[in-house]
Amino acid sequence: MTWTASKNESDISKYHSYDSNQDYVIDRSELSKAINDYYAGKLSFKDISQIIDYWQLGSEGYC
């Protein structure tokens, strides 16, 4: 799973798989689930790093 932060209109319809409420923002609970998946071996370091980057964007969102 690879995601690229972008404000491109074509990305607007795509939600990140960890964005459970589909608001284009990774919140604390969504980040927590991703971290748990990382420790369970379900996510690579690159993937969890990208999700953390999205979380740090806050209200700007990833799209």
CA–centroid distance for 12 within its chain: 14
pLDDT of residue 10: 43
Per-residue pLDDT of 1-25, as tens digits, reads 544 455 444 444 467 889 999 898 9
Please state the domain extents for the chain.
14-57
Confidence at residue 14, expressed as pLDDT on a 0 to 100 scale: 60
**pLDDT at residue 34, as a whole number:** 95
Q: What is the pLDDT of residues 30-44, one digit of tens each?
A: 999 999 999 999 999
Asked if pLDDT for residue 56 goes beyond 90, the answer is: yes
Q: How far apart are CA 23 and CA 19, in angstroms?
A: 7
Indicate the pTM of the whole model.
0.74
